[in-house]
Amino acid sequence: MIFSLHSPNHHLIKHLENLGLCSSEDDVADCEPVGSQKKNINLLVNVGSDRKFLVKQERYIEHNGIPQELFNEWLFHQLLQQFPVLGNIAEIGSSLLHFDEQQSILVRNYLTEYFELENFYQQNDIYPPEIATAIGASLGVLHRATFNQREYRDFMATAPQGQFRYQFYNPVQGIESFSSDIFGSVPTDALKFYVLYQRYESLEAAIAELASLWQPCCLTHNDLKLENILVHSRWEQLDNCLIRIIDWKTCSWGDPAFDLGTVLASYLRIWLESLVVDPSIKLEESLELAATPIEILHPSIAALVQAYLDAFPSILEYRCDFIQRVVQYAGLVLIQQLQATIQNRKYFDNSGIATLQVAKSLLTRPQESIMTVFGISESEIIKPFVKLTKHPQTEKEQNLVRIYYSKTRLRGC
């Protein structure tokens, strides 16, 4: 690489000046690292009193030194520029300013008026349905606008120069087979996860079936955890544009149920991570003793899926089992997150065992789990939307989709 963010700060500032993003007359403060630095180097640059840039560079680059993840994020931004009909979707994304493919450096505006939804929930311990509604509506708009649109699919299959990109990535393939090699890479306590996982034949069968049912049909984010969702600091006063979705580095052509299931898993983790767990306490009792009962989350979880279906009701015509698949993907994501915890933090405790058991129920008994997850039945969820759907063969002008965002304003103005 010609330039690295590991270089002294003045090199980065000079780089931003060359891009025309700031000038020598600007009062540029020191650059400070933000977020995790494992995969990417992330620096926050303060320019004057009211402008901030987030500058990212891939720490290591696979595939013969060609950038992949940041290229993917830039590709999503280019998609919105290339197809103006999708332009309003940019309202939920972050504002990208520059991408240097050769050096794998990406620059975007830092959204100073927004903060991570995960931190918001942790600090305030409140779960306003309005925020979940904004997430579901935004996600439904994205999926509906790109649904079965081959030109968007082909555009997102673009690869860095000289490279080949697999067009589809099935996230269910993230569940790896376990072998004796695992004994040397994880502590003894964490081995219980693999023992339990392999003990449940019904769980492995459900995951295998889910993999076969995966249907890539629209643009998906693929990493919609709460830390990748930002909420506006004045969310109580705004009519719309309450949220932003960041880190599009894993976006691809995928299954919409996986995106919605990933968000759902994040809400379920709030509940599961608050459990009182002990070997002497049965799972049912532990679930009832949660510091954050699932009942407190039900209004937001239900609002999430109902807002999604309101924005994209025809998904129920294409996928009559859509709600069940969302529940199954939520279980899959919970298991993938357990794996990541074991690999990165090297532990698996009683809380993890409870999470695995809940994930197993979601995957193997999705129909029975719907009431537990949403607080209402599947028929109650889909009833308002079924009459709005039409069979795809008879639907006219199906390329015209509602992706309208009115200008953000304060309530009452």
293-340: per-residue pLDDT in tens? 999 999 999 999 999 999 999 999 999 999 999 999 999 999 999 988
C-alpha torsion angle, residues 119, 122, 123, 125 (rounded to 10): 130
Residues of the chain with CATH 3.30.200.20: 9-109
Please give the CATH topology (third level) of the domain spanning 9-109: Phosphorylase Kinase; domain 1 (3.30.200)
How is 350-370 classified by DSSP, letter by letter? HHHHHHHHHHHHHHH-HHHHH
Residues 360-381 pLDDT 10s: 999 999 999 999 999 999 999 9
The enclosing H or E element of 42 equals: strand 40-47
Tokens of 125: 């311990």
Nearest alpha carbon to residue 149 among 360, 403, 343: 403
Domain 114-386 has CATH 3.90.1200.10: yes
- The pLDDT of residue 187 is 74
Residues of the chain with CATH 3.90.1200.10: 114-386
- Length reported for the chain: 413
In angstroms, what CA-CA distances link 347 with 191, 271, 386?
Answer: 9, 20, 45
- The pLDDT of residue 38 is 65
pTM attached to this predicted model: 0.86
**Which amino acid is residue 163, in one-letter code?**
Q
Residue numbers of the chain with a pLDDT score lower than 70: 1-10, 27-30, 35-38, 49, 59-67, 162, 164-168, 174-184, 240-241, 387-413
